[in-house]
Amino acid sequence: MAKGDLISGSIWDEYSDVVVDRMNNPRNLGEITEEQAEEMGAELIVADFGAESCGDAVRLYWAVDKKTDKILEAKFKSFGCGTAIASSDVMTELCVGKTVDEAVKITNIDVEKAMRDNPDTPAVPPQKMHCSVMAYDVIKKAAGIYKGVDAESFENEYIVCECARVSLDTIKEVIKLNDLKTIEEITDYTKAGAFCKSCIEPGGHEDRDIYLVDILRETRAEMEADKIKNATDSSHEVAFAQMTIVQKLKEVEKVIDENIREMLVMDGGNVEILDIKENGGHIDIYIKYLGACVGCASANTGTLFAIEDILKKKLDENIRVLPL
């Protein structure tokens, strides 16, 4: 049955031909009985999951080879809209041939992409993305039954956007790394809020515990607090010339370790910081070359200049480096 036979108008055009075909001709609709599973030498797993927001529900059947954990056969029954049928049909097909651990890694995005006519055009309108989420959730339920664990144990992060499977930690990290200031920017970078939009703010298709507007506001507040703290910390930093000898030694060793020592060691040499003394307007740092650096022609020229230059730039312009 073609799209035009069922619904006319632009909304129907938002469904892919694959979705329409799977709605009307699901390949994996049915059930697996205990007897059929036994004939395959497999364990029968039956999992149910329902979406409270729309009343759709799906039942998933797996025949799992207990020796290999591989899903030998999969069937489904769906109680709901055509999109739920299409999503469940494709989800079931994606499970076959995979181990249970591999099947758990199938996401709702994988299901949605498998229903596309082409890679760049979504298979369903945004408000129907929850159907593929339901398919993802019933896989976790089946895997939990097979392994004897809670289905939620397969979810390691708090998911803010169910449609795009974007976690709270990911959203906060992206905001901070890219200095994002708007919800539109968050969506551009992560796809969170791009589909059903329920995660953006209260009043959407589904209620959420936390929304993008909250995360953006709180994360921006954290960023501002960090700026103030860093500015305060910087204003209280002790200048190199005002440090104690022990503090100066630690800072010099740190700069040498981060910028110089590795190159010396690669050539079979090294350097040791012997002492630091104030001499008029200068801060004299006494060093001792080790290994291949001893007697090297550049020890008192190129290498010495490089060490002195980096210490001046990183610590104090009045530093002089004196080899002993």
Give the CA diameter of the chain. Answer: 95
CATH code where residue 276 lies: 3.30.300.130
Q: In which band, very low, low, confident or very high, does the pLDDT at 10 lie, cut at 50, 70 and 90?
A: low
- Are 41 and 148 part of one and the same domain? yes
pLDDT score of 216 more than 90: yes
Task: Identify whether residues 147 and 14 lie together within a single domain.
Answer: yes
* Structural domain includes residue 161: no
Provide the mean pLDDT of the chain.
86
> Is residue 160 included in any domain, yes or no?
no
Q: Which of 54, 161, 199, 293 is catalytic?
A: 54
More confident residue, 135 or 16: 16
Pair 7, 66 in one domain = yes
Is it the case that residue 204 has pLDDT exceeding 90? no
Of 184, 208, 235, the last residue of a domain is: 235
Query: What integer is the mean pLDDT of 80-87?
Result: 87
Indicate if the pLDDT at residue 201 is higher than 80. Answer: yes
Residue 192 in contact with residue 166, Cβ under 8 Å? yes
Is residue 50 included in any domain, yes or no?
yes
User: Does 180 or 108 have the greater pLDDT score?
Assistant: 180
Do residues 200 and 260 share a domain?
Answer: no
What average pLDDT does range 127-153 have in this prediction?
83
Distance CA 228, CA 230 (A): 6
Q: Pick the closest to residue 102 from 266, 110, 166, 30 (CA basis).
A: 110
In a shared domain, residues 90 and 213: no
What average pLDDT score do residues 220-237 get? 75
95 given a catalytic annotation: no
CATH code of the domain covering residue 85: 3.90.1010.10
**Is 54 tagged catalytic?**
yes
Residue at which a domain ends, from 217, 235, 253 = 235
pLDDT tens digit sequence for 37-65: 999 999 999 999 886 556 778 999 999 99
Contact 238, 248 (CB under 8 A): no
Indicate whether 113 and 225 sit together in one domain: no
Report field, pTM of the whole predicted structure over 0.75: no
Same domain, 11 and 141: yes
Residue 43: inside a domain: yes
As a whole number, mean pLDDT of residues 137-151 equals 90
Q: Is 52 found in the same domain as 31? A: yes
Query: Same domain, yes or no, for 229 and 247?
Result: no
Residue 62 and residue 129 in one domain = yes
Domain range for 291: 240-323
pLDDT tier for residue 211 given thresholds of 50, 70 and 90: very high
Q: Which residue has the higher pLDDT, 77 or 55?
A: 77
Average pLDDT over residues 298-319: 89
Spot the catalytic one: 95, 131, 163, 199: 131
Q: Is residue 96 part of a domain?
A: yes
Mean pLDDT of 204-231: 87
Q: How far is CA 295 from CA 95, 112, 140, 323, in A?
A: 69, 69, 68, 11
Q: Are 162 and 199 contacting, i.e. CB atoms less than 8 angstroms apart? A: yes
Per-residue model confidence (pLDDT) at position 8 = 44
Determine the pLDDT at residue 4: 44
> Which residue, 206, 235, 264, sits at the end of a domain?
235
Q: At what angle do helices 212-235 and 183-190 cross, to 10 degrees?
A: 100
Whether residue 191 is found in the same domain as residue 311:
no
Examine the domain organization and report whether 186 and 279 are in the same domain.
no
Give how many domains the chain has, as a whole number.
3
pLDDT in tens, 253-280: 999 999 988 888 888 889 999 989 988 8
- Report residue 1's pLDDT band, with 50, 70 and 90 as the boundaries: very low
